Structure 1
Amino acid sequence: MHLDGKKILLGVTGSIAAYKAAHLTRLLVKEGAEVQIIMSTSALDFITPLTLATLSKGPVHHQFADSATGVWTNHVELGMWADLFLVAPISANTLAKFAQGICDNLLTATYLSAKCPVMVAPAMDLDMYLHPAVKENLQRLADFGNIILEAESGELASGLNGQGRLMEPEHILEHVTQFFQESQTFRGKKILITSGPTQEAIDPVRFISNHSSGKMGAAIAEAFASKGADVTVILGQGAKKPHHTGIKIHTVRSAQEMYEVTQIHHHQADICVFAAAVADYTPKDIATEKIKKSDDQMQITLVKNVDIAFALGKKKKQGQIHVGFALETENEVFHAKSKLEKKNFDLIVLNSMRDQGAGFQYDTNKVSIFFKNGKSLTTDTLHKDEVAKLIVDCVKDLPIEI
C-alpha cells in the first residue's frame, strides 16, 4: 500500500465539510497509514470524536487534558510523532490563527510546535474564500513552507456555486501520496546554498551592497528540503530566510565571510547552489571611525573579492553538482554560457534585468537554464516557488548519480 508505515496527524476544524474527515480517515488507513486525529472545539458540533476514533482505530484528541482522568495531551509529542500534519478541513478561523500564531486550543498549539511538514485544505463559503484577508493568510502559510491544497469548485452549503468546497478526500489522498513519493527524492543528500547579498564595509556605518532579496535562494532551499534533503544555507544580511525544519542557516555579512563559511561546508555537499549576489569588489581600506562629510567628492579604492563559485569550482569532487546563477543586462546568453564553462557549473540559471517581473526583489522570475551538455530551456514569468521547483527537477534529471 502507498502509505505503509506513514504517520499522519489529521486536524479537523469547525466546518460543515468536517463530515468528510470520516471518509478521508478511512482512505488514509486503508492505504496503510497510521492516523491520529486532533479536533478543534468547534469541530465537535459537526462530527463526533467517536466516529473518527472508530475509523482511525485510536483516541481522538480535542482538549489539553482529559477531564475524567486528568491526563495531559502532549501537543509537542503529537507534532514530533507525525510524518505529516494534515488539516482538512481548515476553516477561515483556524487558518487565521495559524497565520498569526494564535494558540488557544490543542490543534493550534500542535501546529505551532510541529516539526513535520504541514498540509492544509481550506473549506468555506465562496465570498469568504475570495476575501483578501483569507487569501493573505493562505499566502502567509505558504510562505511558512506549508502545503496548500486549494479548495475545489462546486455547490456550497450556502447554496452558492463556486470555489470553496473542501478538496474531495480522494484528491487529498492523491496529494498526500505524491507528497511522500516526492519527499524521498533527495533524502540523505546534503545541499549547500548561498543566498542573498553581501555587504562590504566602508566604515562602521556604511557599506557597499546590492538589491538582492534572497527570495530565489530561499525558495530553492525550501524546494530541496521538501524532498527530504539536508539543506545548509549561507545567508547574506537582510535576505529572506527559508522556513523548513530540514534547513540550517548560517548568516554572514561580507563576501570573504561567505566564502570562508561556504568553503567549510563545500566538501560535504552533494549539490551546491550558488544563488547569492556576491559583491565583486570590496573597499581596500575600511575606516575605523565614521567618515565625516567634507569635500564634494570622495574616492574609495576597491579591490576584487574572491569569486566563490569559481574558487570552489576548482575543488569540485567527482559526482558533486554545482548550480550557478547569472544576472545580466546585455549579451545575456553569451555571458551565462561563459560562466557555465569557466566556473565548472553543471547548469546555470540566467536572469535578465530586461524581463519585466524578474530579478531582484520580485516574487516572480523568468529564467533560462543552460546545461553543460548544451541543452537549454526558458520559462515564462513564474512565481519564484515554481522556478525553484523547476530548478530542483532539473538537478534531479542531470545525468549524474545523486
Structure 2
Amino acid sequence: MTQTTETRVSAEPTGPDAADREGDRIQRGADRDREPGPGARADGHDGYGTQEATAILARTRAAVDPELRRSVEALPGTLRRVALYHFGWEHADGTPAAGHAGKAVRPALVLAAARALGGQPDRAVRAATAVELTHNFTLLHDDVMDRDATRRHRPTAWTVFGDADAILAGDALQAQAQRLLAEDRHPAGPAAAARLAACVVELCAGQSTDVALERRDPAEVTLKETLAMAEAKTGALLGCACALGGLYAGAGEAEVAALDAFGRAAGLAFQLIDDVIGIWGDPARTGKPAGADLAVRKKSLPVVAALVAGGPAAAELTELYGPPGTGKESDTELAAMAQAVERAGGRDWAQTQAADQMSRAVHQLSQAVPVPAAADGLLALAEFVTRRGH
C-alpha cells in the first residue's frame, strides 16, 4: 500500500547573509504550503501549495497543448499515430480519446522560471513545448528498454505498435523539439537549443548507466554512481527546463546556473520519492504493476542505499537481488525484497535524502530569483512533484 510521503525541509541554507535571509523566506513559504488549506485531506496533499501547483499546471496545459499537438500532428503516418496514442489523444485504432498528456511539470517549470525572472511566459511557450516533447521522447524509449507494459493507466506504445515504431516516434519527438527552438525567433532560441541538446546527451548517458547497473552484481554498485545516474536521468531535464525559462527572461549566466541547480536538486528529490513509490506504491495510483522495479532488479536509490548499509537485512537483500528475474516472481517474493530494503533502511534514507535535496533546491532558488514572491510558483511546483513522486 502507498504510504504518503512528504518532504519536510528543516535545514537552513548556507551562503551569504542576504541569500540566507531569502532562503529562510522561501522556506517559510514551503512550511506554510504544508499547512492544510480549506478542504484539505488528512495527508496534506490538498493544502495551499498543492492548489497553487495544480492551477499552474492547468494554465501550462492550456498554453502548451495547442503547440504540442501541432508538433505531433505534423509528423508523418505511423509516427503521428504512435505519438497521438502515447499522449492519450487517440486510441490504438486511431479514434479520438479523452486521455491526457501528463501533468506538464517540465513545461510548467519553463514558464514559471520565465515569470520569476521578470520575463513574459507567453514568449517561452515554444521552449516549454520543446521540453515536453523531449520528456516524452525519453518516456517512449524508457518504456521499450524497461519493458514497462503500462503508462498513465493504459498499455505503453511499444506493446501496441511494436518496439521499432515506438522508438522511431520517440526520435521524431526529439527532432521536433529541436526544430521548435531552431525556428523560434526569440533571441534565446539558439542558446536554448544548445542547452537542450546537451541535456539530451546527459539524459542518454544516465539511461545507459541505469541499464548497465541492472546487469551489475549488487555488491559492486555504489551509492555515489547511482546518485549521479539519477541526477543525469531526472535532474538534468528539470534543471534544463528552469534554465530555459531563465534564458527566455533574459537572465544572466549566474541566475541561469542557479535555476539549473534548483531544478536538478528538485529533480533528484523527485527521483528519490519516485523510487520509493516504485517499490511501495499502489498500482491504482501509479498506473504501474506493484514491484515492477524489483522484478527487473533495478538499482534504484532506496535499493542501493539498503545494499550498502551493511547488516543482516542488507546481506539478505544482496542474496535476493541477484540477476534480473523472469518477471514472474510471486507477490510473496517481491514483498520479501521490499521488506529487506525497508529493514536495511533504504526507504527511510530515500525520504531523508529527498528532504535534503529540497533544502538545496530552496537555497539555489534564493540565489536565482531577486524578488522573493516571484519564487512561489517554482517552489510550489517543486513541492508538488516531490509530494506526488511522479
TM-score of the aligned structures, taking structure 1 as reference length? 0.25
The structure with more helix, counted as a fraction of residues? 2
TM-score of the aligned structures, taking structure 2 as reference length? 0.25
Larger radius of gyration: 1
The structure with more strand, counted as a fraction of residues? 1
Larger RCO: 1 or 2 (CA < 8 Å, sep 6+) = 2
